[in-house]
């Protein structure tokens, strides 16, 4: 059970320079900008103490502020490149709050590209925290992209992606595999500062449903997510 004395900072990262789908973080999605979904979901939490939108874009910052989230500064350009590690801007955010005399026990990373969160997902994830864990990570079961099924090309020949993988004729024969989706990454600040990792074998899993296994990388992901959201709004799914 979560200790309500623990302070949680939710960080929503939103770069302006997306190449797969330009402007995706503020692209209208089923009635609101993509980032607006994550902001509203974070604001509905009973456990989050502070919400911070990390962006290098004044346009994204303006959209965040229209949802009631002040953006005190834009992310430095060196922390907003295609190759900048996510850990760098989170550490920068922690340092910013320290200059204001604010300390947090946990960082909750909410990827705006994973808007398919159920009501209560965030708080249910936080409630899984235990004394012997360093955090919680959302996991979705892999289906058609199972690592024992996917292939690679070597010398123009199709080969198993995992060398030595057993031959599988039916997916049902496979053991379950999971992918960490951006619904929620919750990590202890002290552990993150030491390891610069959002999750490890010491993290607790939070399992999401099949329809939540989407992240916006390109227009095809976007259209799939929009269709799901529209179906959910109309109680079809």
Strands 28-29 and 32-33, how do they pair? antiparallel
Question: Domain containing 171: what range?
Answer: 143-176
The reported pLDDT for the residue numbered 234 is 67
Would residue 135 count as lying in a domain?
yes
Would residue 128 count as lying in a domain?
yes
Would residue 2 count as lying in a domain?
no
Domain containing residue 85: CATH number: 3.90.550.10
Name the residue with tokens 């995992």. Answer: 162
Q: Is 96 exposed, middle or buried (0-12, 13-18, 19+ CB in 10 A)?
A: middle
Cα-Cα-Cα-Cα dihedral sign, residues 152, 154, 159, 162: negative
The reported pLDDT for the residue numbered 47 is 96
Q: Smallest Cα–Cα separation from 213: which of 159, 139, 133, 106?
A: 139
Contact 187, 203 (CB under 8 A): yes
pTM of the model: 0.91
Backbone angles phi, psi at 18, to 5 degrees: -65, 135
Would residue 3 count as lying in a domain?
no
- Give the contacts of 53 (CB within 8 A, at least 6 positions apart): 12, 14, 35, 39, 60, 61, 64, 69, 71
How does pLDDT run along the chain (237 residues), one tens digit per residue?
555 689 999 999 999 988 889 999 999 999 999 999 999 999 999 999 999 999 999 999 999 999 999 999 999 989 988 888 889 999 999 999 999 999 999 999 999 999 999 999 999 999 999 877 899 999 999 987 888 888 899 899 988 888 877 676 676 778 899 999 999 999 999 999 999 999 999 999 999 999 999 999 999 999 999 999 999 876 654
CA distances from 164 to 65, 104, 176 (A): 52, 45, 18
The reported pLDDT for the residue numbered 132 is 78
Q: Looking at the DSSP assignment, which residues form a beta bridge with residue 53?
A: 12
The reported pLDDT for the residue numbered 175 is 85
Name the residue with tokens 């899993």. Answer: 205
Rounded to whole angstroms, the Cα distance separating 113 from 189 reads 23
Pair 80, 169 in one domain: no
Pair 165, 194 in one domain: no
Up-side HSE of residue 110: CA atoms within 13 Å toward CB? 32
The reported pLDDT for the residue numbered 10 is 98
Would residue 184 count as lying in a domain?
yes
* Domain count of the fold of the chain: 2
Pair 54, 163 in one domain: no
Pair 169, 74 in one domain: no
């Amino acid at each position: 059970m979560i200790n309500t004395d623990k302070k949680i900072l939710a960080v929503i990262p939103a770069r302006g320079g997306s190449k797969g789908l330009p402007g995706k973080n503020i692209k209208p999605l089923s009635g609101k900008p993509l980032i607006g979904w994550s902001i509203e979901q974070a604001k509905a939490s009973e456990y989050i103490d502070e919400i911070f939108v990390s962006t290098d874009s004044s346009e994204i910052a303006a959209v965040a502020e229209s949802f009631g989230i002040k953006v005190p500064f834009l992310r430095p350009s060196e922390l907003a490149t295609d190759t900048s590690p996510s850990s760098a801007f989170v550490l920068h955010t922690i340092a910013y709050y320290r200059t204001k005399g604010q300390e947090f026990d946990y960082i909750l990373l909410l990827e705006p590209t994973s808007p398919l969160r159920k009501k209560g997902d965030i708080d249910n994830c936080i409630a899984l925290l235990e004394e012997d864990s360093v955090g919680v990570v959302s996991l979705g079961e892999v289906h058609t992209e199972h690592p024992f099924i996917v292939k690679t090309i070597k010398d123009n020949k199709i080969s198993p992606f995992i060398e030595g993988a057993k031959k599988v004729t039916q997916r049902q024969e496979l053991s379950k595999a999971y992918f960490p989706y951006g619904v929620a990454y919750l990590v202890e600040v002290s552990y993150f500062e030491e390891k610069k990792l959002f999750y490890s074998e010491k993290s607790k899993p939070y399992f999401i449903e099949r329809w939540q296994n989407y992240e916006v990388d390109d227009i095809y992901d976007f259209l799939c997510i929009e269709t799901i959201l529209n179906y959910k709004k109309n109680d079809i799914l």
